[in-house]
Amino acid sequence: MQRKGVTPLVATVMIIGFSVVVAALLINWSDIFVEDIRDDTGASLSLQVVCNQDIDFKLSEVCIMNNRLHFILANDGSVELSEISVKVTGTNGEIKNIKFDNIPPYTMKRFISKTFSEIFSSQSAAVTVSLIEVTPSVFIGDESRVCTDVSQSFGKDERISLPGC
């Protein structure tokens, strides 16, 4: 009885062809994968460099008036702050987030928040809060990214009293 099958030469050509196709698919996939990782790493490094070297902001004259937080922010850094996020924790444990947009480089600007009736229910000259955290954001490319490494906090360990304006 004679067996019919693929000749060794045809089998070898098929194995080599299959290997070339699989290798081409792996190379194509790995290029896309490595490019994504490179882009993410580059954006992360750019954010760290900008946040740690180009941002220099200071708050002054922080006070409360008519249930509103007032402060002056000086952006002494060389980049525009796309946003400033102010997180205020009241004595009752409630947290309020306020966002202020577009602070150009080398400028000083006065900010007045919207009212915080849930947190600052007291109408006295001084309102007690437990924590104020200020975190800047910058543009990296077309995207606004948060710089948590350079955030500033007031009242971490003890309650702080902000005077009336």
Q: Residue ranges of the domains in the chain?
A: 1-54, 56-162
The 10s digit of each residue's pLDDT in 5-15 is 778 888 899 99
Neighbouring-strand partners of residue 84: 100, 136
Q: What are 137's two structure tokens?
A: 């954001």
Contacts with 84 (C-beta within 8 Å, 6 or more apart), sequence order? 57, 73, 99, 100, 103, 111, 134, 135, 136, 137
Highest mean pLDDT among 36-40, 71-75, 144-148, 161-165: 144-148
Helix (H) or strand (E) holding 35: helix 8-49
41 close to 80: Cβ distance less than 8 angstroms: no
Unique residue bearing structure tokens 């060389």: 78
Check: CATH 3.40.50.20 for 56-162? Answer: no
Cα separation of 81 and 102, whole Å? 6
Cα separation of 88 and 8, whole Å? 77
Task: Output the pLDDT for position 124.
Answer: 44
The 10s digit of each residue's pLDDT in 118-138 is 445 554 444 466 778 888 888
Highest mean pLDDT among 9-23, 32-46, 123-137: 9-23
- Both ends of the chain: CA-CA distance in Å? 106
Percent pLDDT > 90 in the chain is 9
